[in-house]
Structure 1
Amino acid sequence: MRIAALSDFHIGAHGYMDEFRHRESAFLAFLDQLEGSHDRIILVGDIYQTEHALLPGRRVAAAELARARARVPALCERLRGPQYHYIHGNHDAVAGPELGAPETLEISADGYRVLFIHGHQFDPVFQRARAAAQAATWFTGRLRRAGLRPLAQWFEGRDVAIKHRRFGHIDGPYARAARALLREHAADLVVMGHTHVPHLHRLPEGQVVNTGSCARGRRTHVTIDTAARSVEIHRA
């Protein structure tokens, strides 16, 4: 079985909140290619950005989700197809109750077991200072609303770079969590998103790969071939 994994689209409820930055028709053409060369396509969370609203809460997040989906109707219809499986992340957690998106997914084929999880569960900042992390998301949302998208992107880019340097190495919290998951689920591979930085670590228990991000016009994704037991990162 060939599986494509991609994550972190960050489709916003409004144009000024959106970090997807793809023409819908062009991204659909990209998905055509993935569908033709893969048996399943896994969406590994943060497909929608639902936490940039002025007020917090599930009802507000659900409304943001509905608005974001309404902005890309053809893409949303495609992602509902039988070839696709969607797990939620932290910025689209409301897709759990609203769309039935689970937190994890396991796929076994050809004697090869893969576990998919967004990865925010292992982010030390999210774990220890969730309120601060949510406040930072709210703040960058306010910057976008004020027309200061480049400044919001600068803050987010610094956050990505600092976190990857501190936490993304083979002895970091994501790799440690992956080792535990590999043992707990008797898996061969753990697939995460969240950090926006694609990378592959080979661990004593198996492997962990990060899908990177499809935000800001990127088409970064991972291909898993269960028969060949291969994992490839595609950066575009």
Structure 2
Amino acid sequence: MNGTETKRRYRTVFLSDLHLGTRGCRADFVAQFLRSVECERLYLVGDIVDGWRLRKSWYWDAEHDEVIRLVLRMARSGTEVTYIPGNHDEMFRAWIGLEFAGIRLAQEAVHRTADGRRLLVIHGDEFDSVVRYAKFIAHLGDWAYDAALAANRWFNAARRRFGYPYWSLSQWLKRQVKGAVAAIDRFEVALAQEARRRGLDGVVCGHIHHAEMREVQGILYMNDGDWVESCTALVEHADGRFELVDWARENRLSFFRGEATPVPQPA
């Protein structure tokens, strides 16, 4: 984005699952997105920093620094920033209720939309039985997920050579596994039921890296996705209308490391 382009203005932006500190994180795309928007409220809905990965090995580059810098700049410029830690950045849960550099840490939040609806904003790992009751299995799944992401990068490098835009092989593989599809459905239903139990109109969450916006048993369920596989954000417009922004597909960006430029159109 150059200095002559007009920023997109939203009432609210929801981002989650950046996984800063991992090689799979597309911090360069996150930075592009943040530079392109202005909003009144920014919710960071968990797994922004990947403490699990950083404890194993340190990975942090200039693009990761840039994402932090842009979020801090938004907070200084008047954007209300709320950080809701997830399971990968659970170390920040010890500081719930505190505010740092204009960023408020919260266990969860209730967001009131422009048209008066009330939405539960929560990372969602509390409703994932694997994370809650079998952390070893969760870490094993994390290893398998890293392998799928590595395959995804090489697959998209090949697509780019032929002029095709990004397509998530890892998400496609996940959708082919019936158990994964069923688990996603159970997760969505559980979150919708929790919102209903609290007398709320809907829920915004992350955690499962599956961007979605649909009605579940009369409750609005919205998952803002991630910035490892899909690079999606959930945004609220001034009139209370919600939209999932598919940043990589919208801008035809390559997911080959080091290439954050538009993919050339096939001849």
The answer to whether the Cα contact below 8 Å between 2:49 and 2:88 also exists between their aligned partners in 1 is: yes
Picking from 4, 15, 20, the partner of 1:11 is 20
**Residue of structure 1 in register with 2:50 after alignment:** 49
Structure 1 Cα separation of the partners of residues 136 and 71 of structure 2:
31
Deviations, residues 67-97 of structure 1 (Å, cap 9, x unaligned): 7488722321322342222111111111223
Uncovered stretches (5+) of structure 2, i.e. residues with no partner: 1-9, 99-104, 156-168, 248-267
Q: CA deviation at 1:53?
A: 5.2
Structure 1 Cα separation of the partners of residues 205 and 87 of structure 2:
12
Aligned residue for 2:33, secondary structure, equals helix
Q: In the alignment, is residue 97 of structure 1 matched against residue 94 of structure 2?
A: yes
Deviations, residues 150-172 of structure 1 (Å, cap 9, x unaligned): 26989975884446411223xx2
Structure 2 Cα separation of the partners of residues 109 and 165 of structure 1:
30
The answer to whether the Cα contact below 8 Å between 2:35 and 2:70 also exists between their aligned partners in 1 is: no
**Residue of structure 2 in register with 1:231 after alignment:** 242
Picking from 92, 95, 110, the partner of 1:106 is 110
Comparing 85-94 and 1-10, the one that deviates more? 1-10
Structure 1 Cα separation of the partners of residues 19 and 182 of structure 2:
23
Structure 2 Cα separation of the partners of residues 29 and 223 of structure 1:
16
Q: Percent identity?
A: 22
Letter of the 2:221 partner, please give it. Answer: V
Structure 2 Cα separation of the partners of residues 91 and 18 of structure 1:
15
Q: In the alignment, is residue 30 of structure 1 matched against residue 33 of structure 2?
A: yes
Picking from 131, 145, 166, the partner of 2:182 is 166
Uncovered stretches (5+) of structure 1, i.e. residues with no partner: none
Structure 2 Cα separation of the partners of residues 199 and 53 of structure 1:
28
**Residue of structure 1 in register with 2:11 after alignment:** 2
Aligned CA-pair RMSD? 3.4
**Residue of structure 2 in register with 1:209 after alignment:** 222
TM-score, normalising length: structure 2: 0.64
Q: CA deviation at 1:133?
A: 0.9
How has the CA–CA distance of structure 1 residues 54 and 168 changed in structure 2, closer, same or farther, with 3 Å as cutoff?
A: closer
Deviations, residues 102-128 of structure 1 (Å, cap 9, x unaligned): 221222254221221111111232233
Picking from 219, 228, 231, the partner of 1:219 is 231
Letter of the 1:234 partner, please give it. Answer: V
Letter of the 2:83 partner, please give it. Answer: Y
Letter of the 1:196 partner, please give it. Answer: H
The answer to whether the Cα contact below 8 Å between 2:118 and 2:201 also exists between their aligned partners in 1 is: yes
How has the CA–CA distance of structure 1 residues 231 and 175 changed in structure 2, closer, same or farther, with 3 Å as cutoff?
A: farther
Picking from 69, 72, 97, the partner of 1:77 is 69
The answer to whether the Cα contact below 8 Å between 1:125 and 1:133 also exists between their aligned partners in 2 is: yes
Structure 2 Cα separation of the partners of residues 213 and 159 of structure 1:
16
**Residue of structure 2 in register with 1:180 after alignment:** 194
**Residue of structure 1 in register with 2:138 after alignment:** 133
How has the CA–CA distance of structure 1 residues 129 and 159 changed in structure 2, closer, same or farther, with 3 Å as cutoff?
A: farther
Bigger relative CO (Cα 8 Å, ≥ 6 apart): 1
Q: CA deviation at 1:189?
A: 2.1
Q: How does 1:48-67 map to 2 (within 5 A)?
A: 48-52=49-53
